[in-house]
C-alpha cells in the first residue's frame, strides 16, 4: 500500500513575536529568527505536509501598513492560483494580525485554505507558543474540511474565522477571541471543526484606499480631530461610537461636514461585542446619525471596519454601493 502524497503548503514568514528573542542588552523582544530556524524548533512539522518556506518579511506587528498588507494579499493570491499549492500559512505579529487576515478574507478569491498564526511569547521565554501555533496552522491548512472557509487564524489551540476574531488580551496565550466561538479546536493534536463560518462574497477591490481615519468616541469628545482628518484629505471615516451607535453632540458638526462632502462615514461600536443600530433618538443618537446618512457597520470592531472601508473604496466610491457592501456583509448570518 503506497503512502498518500502529502499536500503542498507554502509558509510565509512575515515577522512578529513568533520570530523574536529577548535581546540581552535591552532585555526587550526583537525580530531574530528566520523561517527555517523557527521550523527547526517544531518537531514533526515537516512530516505534516510538503513545505515551502519563504522569508517574506521580518516586521513587528505595529510596523505593518495598508500598502504592505495589500502587497502581501497579491502575493498570497498568486500562490493560491498555482496548481501545485494546496494552502498557504502566514506567520504574523499578533498586534495587527486580525487586520491583515481580515483584509485577505475580504479580497482573496480562492477556496484554498489560508491560515494565519503568531505567538504571544518569544523563543527566549518559557512556554514559547510559536511551535504549537505553527503546527496547528499547517494541520489546519491540510485538513480536508478547511477549503471554502475563508481565511483562518490558528492560535491558542483554537481555529477562528478571520472575519470574526479579534485580539482581546495583551499577553495571554489565548489572546484571541470571537463572540461566535472558534470554528475548530485542537484536540490532542488533531484539528476538529465544529461549525462553518458566516461566509461572504469577496470584494473585487482593485486597490486599497489607505486614507481612512478611525476615531473613538468618549465623554465630551468634539469634532476637532474629525475636522483635522478632513483637512488632511481623508477619503473615509470610521467612528467607534459609544454603545450601539451614539456620539457626543460635539462630534456632530464634523460628521455633518464629512457627509456633506460625500465622504463615507461608517459607525461601529467601541464595545467588544454587539451590533450598532439606530435605537436612540436624542441628539447624537443612532437615529439622528442614520438620518444624516452614516453607514452602520454591524458588529465589526473599528480596526476591521477601517480595513473594510479601505477595500470597499477600492471597489466603488458611490455611497449607495458602499452602504450595500456594509449592510450585506457586516457580520449577519
Provide the residue ranges of all domains of the chain, joining segments of one domain with +.
8-193, 212-329
Query: What's the CATH number of domain 8-193, 3.40.50.1170, 3.10.580.10, 2.60.40.1150, 3.30.420.40?
Result: 3.40.50.1170
Q: Which cell is 8 given?
A: 503542498
pLDDT at 2: 39
Mean pLDDT of the chain: 94
pLDDT at position 330 is 43
| pLDDT for 315 | 95
Reported confidence tier of residue 89, pLDDT bands at 50, 70, 90: very high
Angle at 132 between CA 127 and CA 136, to 5 degrees: 160
Give me the mean pLDDT over the 121-145 stretch. Answer: 96
Give the model's pLDDT for residue 5: 80
User: Residue 199: pLDDT above 80?
Assistant: no
Distance CA 58, CA 40 (A): 17
Query: Which is nearest to 155 in space by CA: 124, 176, 182?
Result: 176
Indicate whether 107 pLDDT > 80. yes
328: pLDDT confidence band, cut at 50, 70 and 90? Answer: low
Q: How confident is the model at residue 15 (pLDDT cuts 50, 70, 90)?
A: very high
Neighbours of 16 (CB within 10 A): 30
pLDDT at residue number 332 = 39
- Asked if 17 is an active-site residue, the reply is yes
Confidence of residue 331 (pLDDT cuts 50, 70, 90): very low
Percent of the chain with pLDDT over 70: 97
* 289, 278 contact by CB (below 8 A): yes
The three grid cell numbers given for residue 218, joined into one nine-digit string: 468618549
8-193 and 212-329 share one fold: yes
Residue 1 has pLDDT above 60, yes or no: no
Q: What is the pTM of this model?
A: 0.94
- Per-residue pLDDT of 207-257, as tens digits, reads 999 999 999 999 999 999 999 999 999 999 999 999 999 999 999 999 999
Task: Taking residues 306-322, report their average pLDDT.
Answer: 96
Q: How far apart are CA 215 and CA 241, in angstroms?
A: 8
Per-residue pLDDT at 200: 73
pLDDT score of 197: 79
For CA atoms 309, 311, 313, 316, the dihedral sign is negative
Q: What is the pLDDT confidence band of residue 196, given thresholds at 50, 70 and 90?
A: confident
Q: How confident is the model at residue 329 (pLDDT cuts 50, 70, 90)?
A: low
Q: Looking at 17, 91, 96, 107, which residue is catalytic?
A: 17
Alpha-carbon distances, residue 252 vs 147, 222, 265, 276 (angstroms): 45, 8, 12, 17
> What is the average pLDDT across 310-316?
96
Q: What are the residues facing 296 on neighbouring strands? A: 267
pLDDT at 277: 95
CATH of domain 212-329: 3.40.50.40
Contact between residue 11 and residue 142 where contact means Cβ atoms under 8 Å apart: no
Asked if pLDDT for residue 48 goes beyond 90, the answer is yes
Amino acid at each position: 500500500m503506497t503512502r498518500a502524497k502529502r499536500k503542498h503548503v507554502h509558509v510565509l514568514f512575515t515577522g512578529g513575536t513568533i520570530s523574536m528573542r529577548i535581546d540581552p542588552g535591552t532585555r526587550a523582544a526583537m525580530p531574530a529568527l528566520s523561517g527555517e530556524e523557527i521550523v527547526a524548533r517544531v518537531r514533526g512539522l515537516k512530516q505534516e505536509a510538503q513545505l515551502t518556506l519563504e522569508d517574506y518579511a521580518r516586521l513587528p506587528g505595529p510596523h505593518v501598513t495598508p500598502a504592505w498588507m495589500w502587497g502581501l494579499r497579491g502575493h498570497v493570491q498568486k500562490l493560491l492560483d498555482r496548481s501545485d499549492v494546496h494552502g498557504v500559512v502566514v506567520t504574523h505579529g499578533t498586534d495587527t494580525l486580525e487586520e491583515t487576515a481580515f483584509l485577505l478574507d475580504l479580497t482573496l478569491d480562492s477556496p484554498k485554505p489560508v491560515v494565519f498564526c503568531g505567538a504571544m511569547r518569544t523563543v527566549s521565554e518559557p512556554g514559547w507558543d510559536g511551535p504549537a501555533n505553527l503546527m496547528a496552522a499547517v494541520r489546519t491548512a491540510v485538513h480536508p474540511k478547511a477549503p471554502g472557509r475563508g481565511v483562518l487564524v490558528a492560535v491558542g489551540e483554537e481555529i477562528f474565522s478571520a472575519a470574526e476574531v479579534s485580539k482581546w488580551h495583551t499577553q495571554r496565550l489565548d489572546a484571541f477571541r470571537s463572540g461566535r466561538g472558534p470554528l475548530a479546536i485542537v484536540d490532542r493534536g488533531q484539528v476538529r471543526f465544529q461549525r462553518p463560518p458566516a461566509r461572504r462574497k469577496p470584494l473585487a477591490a482593485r486597490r486599497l484606499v489607505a486614507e481612512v481615519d478611525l476615531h473613538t468616541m468618549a465623554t465630551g469628545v468634539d469634532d476637532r480631530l474629525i475636522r483635522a482628518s478632513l483637512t488632511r484629505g481623508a477619503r473615509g471615516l470610521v467612528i467607534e461610537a459609544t454603545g450601539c451607535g451614539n456620539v457626543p453632540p460635539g462630534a456632530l458638526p464634523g460628521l455633518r461636514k464629512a457627509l456633506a462632502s460625500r465622504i463615507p462615514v461608517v459607525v461601529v461600536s467601541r464595545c467588544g461585542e454587539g451590533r450598532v443600530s439606530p435605537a436612540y433618538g436624542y441628539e447624537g443618537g443612532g437615529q439622528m446619525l442614520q438620518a444624516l446618512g452614516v453607514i452602520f457597520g454591524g458588529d465589526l470592531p473599528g480596526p476591521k471596519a477601517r480595513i473594510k472601508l479601505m477595500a470597499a473604496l477600492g471597489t466603488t466610491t458611490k455611497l449607495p454601493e458602499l452602504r450595500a457592501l456594509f449592510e450585506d456583509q457586516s457580520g449577519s448570518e
